[in-house]
Each structure stands twice: as C-alpha cells, then as structure tokens.
C-alpha cells in the first residue's frame, strides 16, 4: 500500500467522524420538530403535503398504526413500480424503445427497490426506460430509505419516552426525512457529481467510435440525480449495469471518494441523532464506536488479504486501484448499500468472505439508512439481556426492563433474515435450478449462492457477480428473501419500540449494567460476531474459507 | 432448624438417590415439553435410537458402534439435566417436609353453633372458629379473636422462647403448626388449608407445580430462539456438505443424521437449558434456608432488582432501645456524685433506659446496684404530669432526707426553680448539644441542685455501617424509617451511614414514599409487622412481613421472615441478585462453549473435502486445531463434554455463583472473565482430554 492510499483511508474515516455530529445533530432537530435553518424555506411545502394527504402533523400513532402505515405505503409503492415496469413500452420517456419488463423480473425489481435492497437482476441501461428509472426506481430510492430512517426514529422515541403509548407519526417522519434530509443533501451532491462529469440528460443513446476503431453504443440518461440518492440512501441500485465502476457514474477520484463517503454518511450520523434523542450522546457514540470498530476489523482483513493475493487487479477498475476498491467494498457491504466500483467475486476469497460476513452479521455495521441502527439496537437489547443478568438484576436498556416481549421480537428480527439466507441457499445448492446459474464450480460457486441470498435478505443489493440471477428461481426466491429481510426486522423493531415506550425508566445507579462505556462496546461487538459466526461459520467454511485455503495451496476455481 | 439446614451437604445421600430415580421419571415428554432446549435433545436421542434399531434390522451395521455411543450420550444429556432439577427439588423438599411434618396428623376443635367438635386439620375452611388450649397445636393460620395465650413457635422459627398471642392489636396472628403452651384462645382460620404459607412454599420448590418467573420466561424464549437458529444452521449444513462432497467427488457423506444430531445438541444451549430450573428452585431453597418464605418466585427475582430499601430504625439499624452512654456533670459537681444519683434514681426503673443507666454507672464508676428496700427509699415513678421519675430517701441514722429526680430538661428546670434553686446555664448548653447530636438528654437533680446530664443514645448495631456502604456500592439506596424527630433521626442516619431517612413517619407516609419512589422508576423493598403496615407492604415490590406480625401484614407482603429479623431484608436482596447472576453466568458460559465445539465437529465433517488426492486430509482439516485423533473421536469427545459439563456445574447451579457486593461494572468484569472467557477456553481443554481418554481406552 502506498502512503497516499493510507492517507486517503485516514481522511475518509476522519471526515466520517467529523460529519457524524454535524449531520446527526441536524437530523435530531428535524425529527424533534425543532426549527432548523431550512425551516423557513421548507415548512410551507411540508404543510402543503400534509394538507394534500390529509395528515395532521401533531397526531401521533401507536406502534401498530405506525407499522400498518409503513407497510401499506410500501406495498402501494411496490404495486406502482410493478405496473410502471410491465407497461413501460407504451409510456413516455422511453427513447431507446425498451420493451415491457418480464413480470417475475418486475416483481423482483419492485420488491428490491421498495425494500431498499436495490438488487438488480437486470442491466439498467438495457432494461429500464427513463420514466421507470425516474418516477419508479428513483422515487423508491427516496421513500424506501426514508422508511428505514422513520423506523429508527420511531424506535428511538420508544426507548426515550416514558410511559407513552405513541411513537410518532410515520407520515410526518417520512415527509421530514425526504424534505429536510435527503432532498437538500442530494441536490448538493448531484451538482457536485455533474461538475465532475456525471451525466444528467434525456438524450437518446449515442453511437461512438472507439480509439481502436470499433463502434460502441453509449447509454445516456438522468444519472447524477439518481446516483446522489443511490449513495446517500444506501440504495445502491446503479443507473448503469456496472454501477459505480462506469465512468458516467463515477468519473473522477473525487467522485469516487465522495460516493464512498456518502455511503456511510447518514447511517453514521443517525447514531448521533439517536444519542441526542435519548438524552445521552454517549449512548450514540458507543453504538458508533462498535460499528466503526467492526468496520475497521473487516477492512484491515480485506486489505491484507487483497494485497497478499495474486492477480489482485482482476475485476477492479485501473482508475481506482486496490485500496479504493476494497474500501468501497467494505463500506458498501457494511452499510447495506450495494453499489460497487469493483466486482466482489474477483476479490481474494478471504476479502470476498469478509464482504459476505459483513452482510451476514445483519447489516448492522453502519448498515442501511435507519435499518443499520435499528438492527444494532436490537443487538444492543440482546447484549443487555445476555450479559446484563450477570450483574444481578433483570436486564435493562436505557433504564427500561427488557422482558419476554422484547426478547421474542429481537430473536424474531435476528432469526428471520438468517433463516432466509440459510434455507434458500441450501435449496439452491442442491437443486438444478439453483446450481445452473453459477459461473464457477467448487467453493466459489457456493459463495456466489450464499452471497446472493445474504445480499437479498440483508437488503444489501450488491452482487458477487458471476451468478446469473435473472432466472425464475432466483427472481422469485430473492424477492421473498428481500420482503422477509426487510419487514421481518422492521415490524419487530416497531413492536419493541411500542412496548419500550410504555415502560418506566429506572434511574441509573452503580448497580446498573452500564451501556455507555468501552465494556459495552466490546460486549456488543462480541454478541454480533458470536451470533453471526455461530449461525454462518459452517456455511462460510465451505465457501470462502476453504477457497482461501485451497488458493494458498495453489488451487483456484 | 436454621443451623441444621445450612449444614446440609450439597450431595446428601438420600437426596441423590431419590434424584437419580426422579431423573428417569422426568423423561415423560409432557414434562420435557416445558423446556424446549432439552426437548430437542430428547427428540434427537429418540431419532438416533430409531436409526440404530433400523440399522440392526437392515443389517447395515457399519456405523453401529459409533451411533450407539452417540445415542447413549444423548440420553445421558437429558438424564443429567433431569437429575440437576431433581437435586434442587430434593433439597428444597427436604426442608419443606421438615416443616410439613408439623402439620400432618393434626386435629382441630372446631366451634360450631357454640358446640365443639373434633375434625382433622385439612377439613378446616376459611372463617371456621377453633379452640386451642394448653398443649394443642394450632391447626391452621389464623387470628386470635378471643383470649390470650403463650405460644411455642419454635417449629416455625427455631426460636425456643414462647411468644404471647392475644386478640386485637398487632399480636393476634398465629401460624398453623405452632403449639399453645398456656391458657385458651379461640382462633378464626384466615386461609384455606391448601393455601397456607407452608403449602405455597412447598409448591414453589416442586418442579412440576412451579410457575416460571418473568425473567425465566424471557430467558427461555432467548434459548429457544438460539435453538431454532442452530437447528437451521445444522439442517442446512447437510445441503452445503452434500454440495461440497459432490464438488470434491466424495460419494459417502460424512454428515449422517446421528452426526448432525450430535452437532446440534452440542451447539444448542443445553448447559443453561438443563440447569435453568435447578437454578430457580435452589434460589427458593436458599430463601428457605434463611427461614424466609416467599410466596412466589417472582418476588425472589424482584428482590434482585430492588434499589431502594426502607428499613425500620429500631431492630434493623439500632439495637432497639436508647441506652445511657455518658454522664456530663454540672460545674462543681463530682462525676462520681452524678453517677451515684443517677443510679439511685434508676434502681427501680425497669425500662431498658433505666437499666442502662444502672449498668453505665457500674461500668464507668464501679457503683454496684443496690436494693431500694434496703435503703429505705421510695421510688417515684414516671408520670405524664411531672415528666420525671426519681427516688426519695427518708432521714435515717443521721443521714438527711434526699430527693433525687431525673427527667426532661424543662421539667427538671421548673422543678428546681420551684424548689428555689437555679438552673445553671452550662447545663442548658450541654442539654442543647446532646439534643443536637440526636441523643436524648436527661437532667438529674438532687433537691434544688442540678447535678448534670445523662446522655441517652440509640446504639447503632455493629457492622451496619459497612453493610450500608456495600449496599451503596451495589447501587442500593437505604432509607431509615423512624418515629423520632428530625434532629434525632438525622444524627442516627449520619452515624449508621444510611442514604436518607424519614422522621416522624406514619404508615401513610411510608406508603406515600413507596409510591413516590416507584413513580421515579425505583423498586422498593421494606419490612413490616403491624396491621397498619399492610398497605405499604402490599405496595412495595418486595414486602417482607415479620412472622411475629399480624395476619394482615403477612397476607399483604410477598415474603414472610420466620425469624422476624428485619436485617434479613439485605440477605433477601443478595439472594435475588445471586439467582439472576447465576442464570446470566451460565447462559454466557453455555454460548461461549460453542466455539470449541465447532472446532471439534466441523473438521470431523469437512476434513476430507477438496483433498488434493482422494483419501488424504483436505484443506479444512486445518480447522482441527485441537489435534483430535479421528473424526469419530472428535464428535464423541464433544458430545461427552457437553453432557458431563451439566453434571459438573450442578454444584454451581445449586449454590449460586460466588457473590461479592460490588458495583455492577466490577461484577460484570469479574463474571465475564470467569464465565465468558472461561467458557471459551474450558471446552478446548475438556474436549482434548476426553479425546485422549477415549482414544486410549479404544472407544473411537
């Protein structure tokens, strides 16, 4: 590694740490309904939306009402997106004249964007019209991300409030998140991207002659606006098939750096928002530290493995090099983003395995916007329950007793995505329908299958590449995995929020299990790693681990 | 009785024998279903046994010896867990039965329509009136409605001195099984025979009837969740192994059903699953050993969570009565003279304060107590009018007549001034100083001379200050409740080191205080004995009623202390904490064990995959970091370790983890080190040892 690369990584982490309290504090004010510098400009628009949809800003919801609103809103979004795809040929803004999308692929894609997964079984420029991309996919880029943020804000309120029955209004949280957080950030970010050469137009695809004299069809389109939210909303669905490895999506080192930073920006900042809202910034920093430490461990292992491997440039853009490809890979798999600037399948087995493990751990290392933090809070509750008993009191988190309902929901939230990954991957590994999509044999083939289902259930959306996922088998099963992986966690998270909101708060004393110190960071990390490792170690040892061992002895697949 | 129980050995012969029989009896699937983790083991054992039987008949005996050993250890795992529960039950029952014996064969003399009839005790109904005379056993818990009697309660309390029970007031409650020593009382039975404290307590230590506590339910959910996760991991492992074997060109799978069941049983939290109910029962048992009867397991659990203790001053913090601690003579008065006058005035004073003055004079000045009769003196008893007591000596044998008085400062002042004397200013200063320090000043005067002041003080129990400091370290706040005025209360509170106090507290104040603490999120424990304590006892999260208290108080609380020792509240809290800590420690231990088991079984399963040359070890043999002899010995070692660790940890489950009063962070650090890190390392050593042994004896 060069000094420049090390400096880049240090700068990346430094900026992330600096931005966390700035953006996090702003978001805490937005969701607390306090005045911000954007309020004078945006309040009229906000109120207009409430009037239009008939929502009262001061009317709060119980957790069940909140969950119903969220699920119904997302199902409606799914239906709209599905219809847009299967009818796009007859709709406007389709200069390339792309045909209607085949229904099972449309189901998979609609699910994928509604669940903030953005798994793409298709190539963007060859499948989706501009209309589908803009008012279909891109709208979901905003609202699916905002749904995730809304859930974590509701969960935070549940933990912070005392003997309350409501956890906020989904509609208000959704509107505020889009208006005050995503739109301003995206506007700025899209302009920066355009200035660097990312395209934003409605042109027809262009015919060009390359230097070697061959003819090439260059896709066009409104890319910059979509890329901004794709990164900020941990969506990851590329405008073009090769995602941010494409020069129109990611033209310069600066765009590469900023696109990487924006992957983790909001998930990291939300930890600070959380700390502010529960009235203890330390609680937020503790979660941030646990996330950062897990991220760094993964990153270091990946870098070490990659620099030690042969053929390290395969599948990577020469424009970015190894360090930037790996840093992006670590960030995108940690954060359930799913955008890529290199092909993960070409990483050394161990680096690919860490990317896979990042997803399998539940997408809680920063994780998806909102999703990462509510996943992390569920792990915090489990940690408190397992370790908290050892201090001789029934466990409590932020002064609230953790009882059977919370444990039931937390276990459900951990169990459902894991069950999808294991069961579906097992099915794929012994059926022809599953096996025929592999690009490689042996352990690498198993890694491809595991990665696909982990990415789906973890709502990551990145692909290991290699696997042909556009088959009825994968489109169907992955679609189911995405639904379960998304709402199988959201509903339990909201259920926990609802029951925690009703509880009293026991004031802290020296007899309380401390959740705002280094010991808790270590315990939280240990629980995440142990639960994840115990669940997936057998599968991982037959995929990336054995592949790395074989590679060490000179055998490749 | 108390001492008897404490000396009961952990593995008592008869209890172990009965527990071994019970362990087999508990194989009943209906009982196993209550414990999801062990139920999975039972199903695994049945499946493996089925496979062995199938192989026997089909003649496919290649794996027979190995599978039989797996099946055997699976059955042992279930039996060991049953044995642990039976042991805890046996120990609890042994104590309970000793108490129950007192109630069998009892007859009752029931009063019906003014006539007496003899029936057996279990036939009694709530509200029946029974007559008990000297020599009779009281047939059930009840309330004296007529008469007064001395009662021997040693069967319940172990205290041999008889106690007085009378109708009305705070001493009207009687307990079934105690014996009337004198006189005749009529008792109204206040509880159904099935629901006396004794019966409730017995139900709490019998596994079958025991209700799971809230925390136990939550923990069971967690353990069941982990079991499902591991079930998924193991079931899908079959598919992943098959895939890899096809890719490696291996036809004979190593992931056979018995091997997968062995892996599953090793991974699911059998250690805590098998010991969970034993931990709960032995928590109850430890309460009983300290002569505390809890009415529910929930109450014991709540005791661990308590963070505010309301403690009655008298009996808990102080020895009970005020005692003379110092004589402060007036100017120009010999200390000897003051002490002598004070002693003389108190010789006939039978109050504890009076006696303590006599004792202090004797200890400090060598003045021996004398008989008033010999001195030809007349004792003037305390009266509400004069607020003084004293002694008058008639003039005799040349001695002049003397008149000594002692009493409250203002009373003596007006007495002296009426007699024409003056009340010295420095005495008033002394009086004020003593009062300011929370003690009670008694002024002594002879004739119209003020001799000085006696300081009466509440004496704080030895060691109580350290106890409170420990409680504070554990995050528990202590509040002293007293009827004293604020000044006195503050001084004693400071001396004893309590965190807060309530002076001139009425029962209503107590109730209000408890509600206020609970509104702030605290959990409150208190002790009480009088009927007027009942509302507060019911409101508190842990209410320990004194056995000497009224029936109302005992019904209101959720625990009864047979020794009527208010200090025991602290032990009750400690038992609750220890119970929760034991659960947490063994859960952590159980989960951290899994790491080693993966490293034992996975290389056994995967060792041959992707081998460069068929038959040779493949790359994943590298996972065999314990260097176990063979795949079969590795699997057997893991499952043997998994079964025997349950037995090895029975003493810990029964005794509870080592407990020291410390802050939460320190306790956590200690337990994490022992049970987290220990749980990680122990199985590596244990499995390796077992592997060496079974290889040596040729089992695998």
- Number of domains present in the structure of chain A: 2
| Two tokens, residue B326 | 């110092």
Same domain, A229 and A378: no
Interface list for B 510-539 with A (CB within 8 A): 519-523
B340 labelled catalytic: no
Show residues of chain A in contact with B516, CB under 8 Å.
Answer: none
Nearest to A553 among B473, B619, B672 (CB): B619
Question: Over the stretch B232-268, which tens digit does the pLDDT of each residue have?
Answer: 999 999 999 999 999 888 888 888 999 999 999 999 9
- Sorted by sequence, the CB contacts under 8 Å of residue B417 that are 6+ apart come out as B423
In angstroms, the CA B457 to CA B438 distance is 8
Do residues A543 and A447 make contact, with C-beta atoms less than 8 angstroms apart?
A: yes
| pTM for the structure as a whole | 0.86
Degrees to nearest 5, angle at CA A138 with A136 and A141: 115
Do residues A245 and A216 make contact, with C-beta atoms less than 8 angstroms apart?
A: no
CB–CB contact B233 A510 (8 Å): no
CA distance B57 to chain A (A): 31
> How many contiguous H segments (helices) and E segments (strands) does chain B have?
26, 22
Do residues B10 and B571 make contact, with C-beta atoms less than 8 angstroms apart?
A: no
Nearest to B665 among A394, A504, A514 (CB): A514
Nearest to A478 by CA among A489, A487, A465, A469: A469
Show residues of chain A in contact with B580, CB under 8 Å.
Answer: 389, 392-394
Q: What local confidence, expressed as pLDDT, does residue B202 receive?
A: 66
In angstroms, the CA B163 to CA B151 distance is 5
Q: What local confidence, expressed as pLDDT, does residue B551 receive?
A: 66
Same domain, A404 and A542: yes
Q: What is the DSSP letter of A316?
A: B
Asked whether the CA dihedral B445, B446, B450, B452 is positive or negative, the reply is: negative
| Two tokens, residue A408 | 């039931």
In angstroms, the CA B548 to CA B165 distance is 9
Q: What is the DSSP letter of A213?
A: S
Show residues of chain A in contact with B541, CB under 8 Å.
Answer: none
Question: Over the stretch A251-265, which tens digit does the pLDDT of each residue have?
Answer: 999 999 999 999 999
| Two tokens, residue B342 | 């004070």
Show residues of chain A in contact with B667, CB under 8 Å.
Answer: 390-392
Q: Find the mean pLDDT for residues B43-48.
A: 96
Select from A235, A258, A280 the last residue of a domain.
Answer: A280
In angstroms, the CA B463 to CA B460 distance is 9
CB–CB contact B225 A504 (8 Å): no
Same domain, A385 and A247: no
Show residues of chain A in contact with B618, CB under 8 Å.
Answer: 546
Nearest to B601 by CA among B624, B567, B575: B624
Degrees to nearest 5, angle at CA B641 with B640 and B647: 95
Q: What local confidence, expressed as pLDDT, does residue A31 receive?
A: 95
Q: Find the mean pLDDT for residues B485-492.
A: 83
Domain that holds residue A422: 374-552
Question: Over the stretch B166-180, which tens digit does the pLDDT of each residue have?
Answer: 887 778 888 877 788
Residue A527 lies in a domain: yes
DSSP assignment string, B241-282: HHHHHHHHT--S-S--HHHHHHHHHHHS-HHHHHHHHHHHHH
Same domain, A263 and A391: no
ipTM of the complex as predicted: 0.93
Place of tokens 């493996």: B48
Residue of chain A minimizing CA distance to B604? A538
pLDDT bin (cut points 50, 70, 90) of residue B691 is very high
Q: Which of A392, A502, A542 to mutate to test the interface with B (most CBs of B within 10 A)?
A: A392
Residue of chain B minimizing CA distance to A551? B619
CA distance A539 to chain B (A): 7
Q: Which of A394, A446, A517, A553 to mutate to test the interface with B (most CBs of B within 10 A)?
A: A394
| Two tokens, residue B217 | 């339910």
Residue A295 lies in a domain: no
Q: What local confidence, expressed as pLDDT, does residue B7 receive?
A: 47
Residue A294 lies in a domain: no
Show residues of chain B in contact with A422, CB under 8 Å.
Answer: 232-233, 236
DSSP assignment string, B334-385: -HHHHHHHHHHHHTT--SHHHHHHHHHHHHHH-PPP--HHHHTEEEE---TT
Do the bridges between strand B477-481 and strand B500-502 make them parallel or antiparallel, or are there none, so unpaired?
A: parallel
Same domain, A37 and A139: yes
- Sorted by sequence, the CB contacts under 8 Å of residue A549 that are 6+ apart come out as B619, B620, B622
CA distance B101 to chain A (A): 35
Show residues of chain B in contact with A514, CB under 8 Å.
Answer: 664-665
Question: Over the stretch B409-454, which tens digit does the pLDDT of each residue have?
Answer: 888 988 888 888 888 888 899 988 888 877 888 899 988 889 999 9
CB–CB contact B620 A415 (8 Å): no
CB pairs under 8 A between A and B: 214
Question: Over the stretch A184-195, which tens digit does the pLDDT of each residue have?
Answer: 999 999 999 999
CB–CB contact B218 A402 (8 Å): yes
CB–CB contact B232 A550 (8 Å): no
Do residues A208 and A218 make contact, with C-beta atoms less than 8 angstroms apart?
A: yes
Residue A328 lies in a domain: no
CB–CB contact A415 B228 (8 Å): yes
Residue of chain B minimizing CA distance to A422? B236
Same domain, A128 and A271: yes
β-sheet bridge partners, residue B324: B456
Residue B5: pLDDT above 60? no
For chain B, report the end-to-end CA distance as a whole number of angstroms.
Answer: 51
pLDDT bin (cut points 50, 70, 90) of residue B28 is confident
DSSP assignment string, B561-588: ETT--TTHHHHHHHHHHHHHHHHHHHHH
| Two tokens, residue A343 | 């092909």
Nearest to A513 among B221, B585, B664 (CB): B664
Residue B1: pLDDT above 50? no
Q: What local confidence, expressed as pLDDT, does residue A180 receive?
A: 96
Q: Does B581 touch chain A (CB under 8 A)?
A: yes
* Strand ranges of the sheet holding B318-329, from the earlier edge strand across to the other edge: B318-329, B449-460, B440-446, B402-407, B388-393, B377-380
For chain A, report the end-to-end CA distance as a whole number of angstroms.
Answer: 27
β-sheet bridge partners, residue B542: B525
β-sheet bridge partners, residue B110: B117, B130
Show residues of chain B in contact with A426, CB under 8 Å.
Answer: 235-236, 238-240
Same domain, A66 and A189: yes
CA distance B212 to chain A (A): 12
In angstroms, the CA B654 to CA B519 distance is 36
Residue A14 lies in a domain: no
CA distance A394 to chain B (A): 6
Nearest to A385 among B222, B230, B267 (CB): B222
Q: Does B395 touch chain A (CB under 8 A)?
A: no
Q: Does B405 touch chain A (CB under 8 A)?
A: no
Kindly name the residue from B152, B312, B484, B691 that is annotated as catalytic.
B312
Residue A48 lies in a domain: yes
Show residues of chain B in contact with A414, CB under 8 Å.
Answer: 225, 229
Q: Does B222 touch chain A (CB under 8 A)?
A: yes
Residue A155 lies in a domain: yes
Question: Over the stretch B508-535, which tens digit does the pLDDT of each residue have?
Answer: 888 899 999 998 889 999 987 766 778 8
Degrees to nearest 5, angle at CA A394 with A389 and A395: 70
Residue B194: pLDDT above 60? no
Do residues B533 and B515 make contact, with C-beta atoms less than 8 angstroms apart?
A: no
Interface list for B 453-512 with A (CB within 8 A): 472-477
Q: In which residue ranges of chain A is pLDDT below 70?
A: 309-312, 557
Q: Does B594 touch chain A (CB under 8 A)?
A: yes
Residue A359 lies in a domain: no
Helix/strand/coil for B455: strand
Show residues of chain B in contact with A512, CB under 8 Å.
Answer: 475, 664
Q: Find the mean pLDDT for residues B588-597.
A: 93
How much of chain B, in percent, has pLDDT values that exceed 70? 91
Select from A250, A280, A310 the last residue of a domain.
Answer: A280
CA distance A548 to chain B (A): 9
Q: Which of B213, B227, B233, B236 to mutate to test the interface with A (most CBs of A within 10 A)?
A: B236
| Two tokens, residue B612 | 């460069």
- Sorted by sequence, the CB contacts under 8 Å of residue B493 that are 6+ apart come out as B480, B500, B501
Same domain, A273 and A379: no
Question: Over the stretch B52-104, which tens digit does the pLDDT of each residue have?
Answer: 999 888 877 678 889 999 999 999 999 999 999 999 888 877 876 766 665 45
Average pLDDT value over all residues in chain B = 85
Same domain, A249 and A108: yes
Same domain, A386 and A242: no
DSSP H or E run through A416: helix A404-430
Select from A239, A262, A280 the last residue of a domain.
Answer: A280
Show residues of chain B in contact with A509, CB under 8 Å.
Answer: 307, 475-477
Same domain, A405 and A524: yes
CA distance B485 to chain A (A): 30
CA distance B223 to chain A (A): 10
Same domain, A272 and A379: no
- Sorted by sequence, the CB contacts under 8 Å of residue A447 that are 6+ apart come out as A345, A349, A352, A353, A356, A464, A543, A544, A547
């Amino acid at each position: 590694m060069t000094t420049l690369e090390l400096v880049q990584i240090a700068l990346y982490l430094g900026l992330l740490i600096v931005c966390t309290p700035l953006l996090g504090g702003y978001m805490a004010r937005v969701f607390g309904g306090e005045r911000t510098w954007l309020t004078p400009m945006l309040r009229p628009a906000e109120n207009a939306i409430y009037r239009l949809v008939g929502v009262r800003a001061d009317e709060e919801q119980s957790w069940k009402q909140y969950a119903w609103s969220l699920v119904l809103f997302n199902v409606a979004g799914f239906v709209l997106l599905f219809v847009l795809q299967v009818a796009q040929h007859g709709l406007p803004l389709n200069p390339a004249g792309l045909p209607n999308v085949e229904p099972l692929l449309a189901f998979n894609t609609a699910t994928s964007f509604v669940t903030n997964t953005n798994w793409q079984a298709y190539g963007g420029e060859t499948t989706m019209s501009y209309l589908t991309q803009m008012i279909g996919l891109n709208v979901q880029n905003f609202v699916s991300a905002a749904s995730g943020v809304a859930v974590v804000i509701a969960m935070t309120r549940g933990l912070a409030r005392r003997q309350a029955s409501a956890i906020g209004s989904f509609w208000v949280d959704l509107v505020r998140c889009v208006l005050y957080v995503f739109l301003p950030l995206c506007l700025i970010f899209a302009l920066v991207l355009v200035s660097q050469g990312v395209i934003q137009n409605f042109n027809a695809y262009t015919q060009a002659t390359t230097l070697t004299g061959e003819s090439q069809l260059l896709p066009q389109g409104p890319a910059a606006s979509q890329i901004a939210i794709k990164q900020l909303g941990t969506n990851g669905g590329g405008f073009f098939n090769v995602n941010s490895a494409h020069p129109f999506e990611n033209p310069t080192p600066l765009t590469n750096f900023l696109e990487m930073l924006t992957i983790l920006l909001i998930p990291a900042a939300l930890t600070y928002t959380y700390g502010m809202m529960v009235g203890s910034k330390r609680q937020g920093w503790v979660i941030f530290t646990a996330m950062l430490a897990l991220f760094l461990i993964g990153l270091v292992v990946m870098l070490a493995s990659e620099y030690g491997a042969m053929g390290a440039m395969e599948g990577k853009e020469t424009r970015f090099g190894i360090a930037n490809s790996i840093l992006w890979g670590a960030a995108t798999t940690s954060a359930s983003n799913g955008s890529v600037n290199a092909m993960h399948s070409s990483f050394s087995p161990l680096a690919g395995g860490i990317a896979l493990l990042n997803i399998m751990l539940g997408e809680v290392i920063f994780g998806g916007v909102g999703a990462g933090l509510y996943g992390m809070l569920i792990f915090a509750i489990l940690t408190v329950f397992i370790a908290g008993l050892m201090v001789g009191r029934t466990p409590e988190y932020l002064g609230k007793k953790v009882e059977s309902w919370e444990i039931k929901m937390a276990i459900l939230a951990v169990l459902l995505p894991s069950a999808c990954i294991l069961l579906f991957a097992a099915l794929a590994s012994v059926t022809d329908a599953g096996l025929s999509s592999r690009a490689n044999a042996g352990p690498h083939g198993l890694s491809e299958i595991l990665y696909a289902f982990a990415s789906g259930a973890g709502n990551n959306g990145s692909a290991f590449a290699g696997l042909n996922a556009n088959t009825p088998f994968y489109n169907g099963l992955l679609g189911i995995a995405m639904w379960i992986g998304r709402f199988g966690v959201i509903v339990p998270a909201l259920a926990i929020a609802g029951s925690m909101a009703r509880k009293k708060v026991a004031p802290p004393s020296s007899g309380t299990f401390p959740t705002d110190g280094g010991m808790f960071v270590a315990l939280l990390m240990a629980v995440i790693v142990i639960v994840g490792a115990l669940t997936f170690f057998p599968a991982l040892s037959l995929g990336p681990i054995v592949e790395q061992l074989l590679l060490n002895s000179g055998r490749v697949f | 009785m108390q001492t008897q129980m404490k000396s009961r050995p952990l593995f008592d012969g008869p209890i172990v024998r009965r527990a071994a029989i019970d362990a087999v009896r508990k194989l009943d699937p209906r009982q196993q279903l209550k414990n999801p983790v062990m139920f999975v083991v039972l199903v695994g054992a049945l499946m493996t046994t089925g496979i062995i039987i199938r192989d026997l008949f089909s003649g496919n005996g290649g794996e027979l010896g190995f599978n039989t050993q797996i099946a055997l250890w699976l059955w042992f795992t279930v039996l060991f867990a049953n044995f642990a529960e039976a042991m805890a039950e046996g120990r609890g029952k042994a104590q309970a039965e000793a108490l129950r014996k007192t109630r069998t064969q009892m007859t009752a003399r029931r009063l019906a329509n003014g006539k007496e009839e003899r029936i057996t005790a279990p036939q009694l109904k709530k509200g029946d009136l029974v007559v008990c005379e000297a020599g009779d056993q009281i047939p059930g818990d009840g309330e004296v409605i007529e008469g007064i009697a001395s009662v021997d309660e040693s069967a319940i309390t172990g205290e041999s001195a008889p106690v007085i029970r009378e109708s009305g007031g705070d001493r009207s409650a009687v307990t079934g099984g105690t014996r009337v020593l004198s006189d005749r009382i009529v008792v109204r039975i206040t509880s159904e025979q099935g629901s006396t404290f004794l019966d409730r307590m017995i139900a709490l230590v019998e596994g079958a009837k025991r209700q799971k506590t809230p925390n136990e339910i939550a923990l069971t959910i967690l353990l069941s969740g982990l079991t499902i996760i591991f079930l998924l991991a193991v079931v899908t492992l079959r598919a992943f192994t098959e895939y890899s074997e096809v890719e490696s060109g291996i036809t004979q799978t190593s992931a056979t059903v018995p091997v997968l069941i062995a892996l599953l049983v090793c991974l699911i939290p059998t250690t805590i699953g098998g010991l969970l109910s034993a931990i709960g029962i032995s928590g109850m048992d430890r309460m009983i050993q300290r002569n505390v009867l809890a009415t529910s397991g929930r109450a014991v659990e709540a005791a661990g969570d308590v963070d505010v203790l309301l403690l009655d001053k008298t009996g808990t913090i102080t020895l009970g009565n005020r005692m003379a601690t110092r004589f402060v003579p007036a100017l120009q008065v010999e200390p000897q003279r003051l002490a002598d006058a004070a002693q003389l005035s108190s010789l006939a004073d039978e109050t504890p304060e009076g006696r303590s003055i006599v004792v202090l004079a004797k200890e400090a000045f060598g003045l021996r107590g004398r008989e008033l009769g010999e001195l030809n003196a007349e004792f003037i008893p305390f009266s509400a009018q004069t607020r003084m007591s004293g002694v008058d000596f008639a003039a005799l044998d040349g001695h002049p007549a003397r008149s000594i008085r002692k009493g409250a400062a203002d009373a003596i002042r007006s007495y002296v001034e009426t007699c024409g004397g003056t009340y010295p200013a420095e005495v008033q200063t002394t009086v004020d100083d003593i009062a300011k320090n929370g003690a009670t000043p008694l002024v002594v005067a002879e004739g119209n001379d003020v001799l000085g002041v006696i300081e009466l003080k509440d004496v704080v129990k030895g060691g109580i200050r350290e106890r409170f400091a420990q409680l504070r370290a554990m995050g528990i706040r202590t509040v002293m409740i007293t009827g004293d005025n604020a000044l006195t209360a503050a001084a004693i509170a400071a001396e004893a080191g309590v965190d807060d106090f309530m002076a001139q507290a009425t029962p209503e104040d107590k109730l209000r205080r408890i509600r206020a603490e609970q509104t702030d999120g605290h959990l409150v424990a208190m002790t009480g004995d009088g009927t007027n304590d009942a509302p507060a006892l019911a409101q508190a999260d842990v209410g320990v009623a004194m056995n000497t208290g009224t029936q109302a108080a005992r019904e209101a609380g959720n625990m009864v202390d047979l020794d009527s020792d208010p200090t025991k509240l602290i032990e009750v809290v400690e038992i609750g904490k220890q119970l929760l800590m034991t659960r947490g420690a063994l859960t952590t231990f159980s989960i951290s064990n899994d790491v080693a088991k993966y490293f034992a079984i996975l290389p056994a399963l995967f060792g041959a995959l992707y081998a460069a040359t068929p038959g040779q070890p493949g790359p994943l043999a590298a996972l065999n970091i314990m260097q176990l002899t063979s795949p079969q010995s590795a699997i057997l070692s893991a499952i043997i370790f998994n079964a025997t660790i349950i037995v090895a940890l029975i003493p810990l489950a029964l005794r509870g983890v080592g407990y020291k009063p410390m802050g939460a962070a320190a306790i956590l650090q200690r337990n994490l080190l022992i049970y987290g890190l220990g749980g990680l390392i122990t199985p590596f050593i244990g499995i390796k040892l077992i592997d060496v042994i079974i290889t040596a004896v040729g089992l695998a």
